[in-house]
Amino acid sequence: MNPIPSILSSFVLLQLLLIGCDDSSTTGPAANAPTATTGSPSSAAAPVPPSGVRIIAPGALEVRPDAAAVYGDPADVDFGFVKPGSKLTADVVLVNPLESPMTIVQAVPTCQCTTVEVTGETIPPGGGIAIPITLQVPSTTGKKQAAVNTVLQTADGRNVRGPRLTLTAVAAYAVRTTPLYIDALPPNPTTGNVAVAATDGRAFRVLSVNGRPPVLLPPDQPLPQHVVQYDLGPAATQAEQSGRSDVFPKWMIFETDHPEAPVIEMRIRHPFSKLPHQTRNVALQFDGNIANIGAIPAGGTGTFDIELKQFAGKLVTSVRTTNPDFRADLVEQAEGAGDRVRVKVAVTNLGDREGVFMIPVDFETTAGSEAMYVTGVVR
């Protein structure tokens, strides 16, 4: 197999910078959702190897009559709305409309949240190859997008750019917000409305917003959707006058009486709401920056999962919170995808405090220490 020309390798590296793991969202409880599969045609295929790849023989699939290069079917996978922390799988078919075989030289994900193993597989002429691509949605609400860039080799040893495959999902709770985050970066206003809607159509109430009574457009009664008004101006003024950005909220926390979404968080983008990794080099990289443990009873415990990125070979030694009303305990840690480690943490309410809370949880590790936030409601 011929080596890839340096110019093509440079192109692939450039492509990797175009779409990656974003951090536009906030974290919620991670849970494995049922596997979602799309684009998986039945065909007279060879036995499925451990990688899950299936070779589709010529004539067993429909080839686009106008296709002049290998293409993905589908090239863009949209999982729609999924639960935060879901692990999703799509079968994407690389279709070869040409009269000669094509070999996959590279299939490079733009993010370690995506896994695919097809390097060295050959796509028969007039046939295809079904490849499972997995997307691990972070424990975050918001839109998640990743891609796989491919490089193919022709029968005469030339390397050519293959199709770019994209995976998109929107992580949301049973109650979600529109828009997905508040953009209050200048010159955008610090006032506006947020639609809060139940994805299951259930009528519910918004009980509080950041611990205060909500300002709702009428009527104020159980509905499948509410419109909440917000004004971040006073908080911005206080932060500016005091010189303390910590008095400005980084998230908008909605408390509801929906049984599947007692608390939902919404990221606020503003100059005063920057997260630690946006202002300095951090010792730890979380796959989200706020964990949502939902509702717990007084004196009760809730858990959340979080992934530490670029953490292979390292250990979390302890977790703790400085909030006297709660205790944080390390439950377990296990290898995740790539160089990630998945960590489960328990948060216990120690007193009689009720209502919505947001507390810092410090992670002590062999790579250093960093804090993230945990939100929920005691009731």
Overall fold of domain 6-171: Immunoglobulin-like (2.60.40)
Pairwise pLDDT comparison (11 vs 117), residue with the higher score: 117
Per cent of the chain over pLDDT 70 is 86
**Averaged pLDDT for residues 41-49:** 38
- Across all residues in the chain, what is the average pLDDT? 85
This model's pTM is above 0.85? no
- The set of residues, in sequence order, having a beta carbon less than 8 Å from that of 189 and lying 6+ positions away, is none
pLDDT tens readout for residues 147-172: 999 999 999 999 999 999 999 998 88
Residues in contact with 262: Cβ distance below 8 Å, sequence separation at least 6, in sequence order: 255, 256, 294, 295, 376, 377, 379
* CA dihedral (247, 252, 256, 258) positive or negative: negative
What b/e sequence results for 336-369 when a residue is b if at least 16 CB atoms lie within 10 Å of its CB, and e otherwise?
bbbebbbbebbbbbeeeeeebbbbebebbbebeb
**Residue 334: pLDDT band with limits 50, 70, 90:** very high
CA dist., res. 307 & res. 123, Å (int)? 35
Q: What is the mean pLDDT of residues 17-21?
A: 38
pLDDT at 226 > cutoff 90: yes
Per-residue pLDDT band for 288 (boundaries 50, 70, 90) equals confident
pLDDT in the model for residue 356: 96
Higher-confidence residue of 84 and 359: namely 359
- Within this chain, domains 6-171 and 173-274 share the same CATH topology: yes
CA distance 264 to 266: 7
> For 166, phi and psi rounded to 5 degrees?
-115, 145
pLDDT at residue 197 tops 80: yes
Average pLDDT for residues 281-286, to the nearest whole number? 94
Task: Say which residue, 307 or 3, is predicted with more confidence.
Answer: 307
Mean pLDDT along residues 105-131: 89
| Top-tier CATH class for 282-379 | mainly beta
Taking every pair of C-alpha atoms in the chain, what is the biggest distance, in angstroms? Answer: 74
- At 51, the pLDDT band (50, 70, 90 cuts) reads low
Average pLDDT over residues 241-251: 94
Interval 127-134 mean pLDDT = 93
Which is more confidently placed, 337 or 332? 332
The residue extents of the domains of the chain are 6-171, 173-274, 282-379
3-class DSSP state of 276: helix
- State how beta strands 285-286 and 301-309 pair: antiparallel
Top-tier CATH class for 173-274: mainly beta
More confident of the two residues 85 and 259: 259
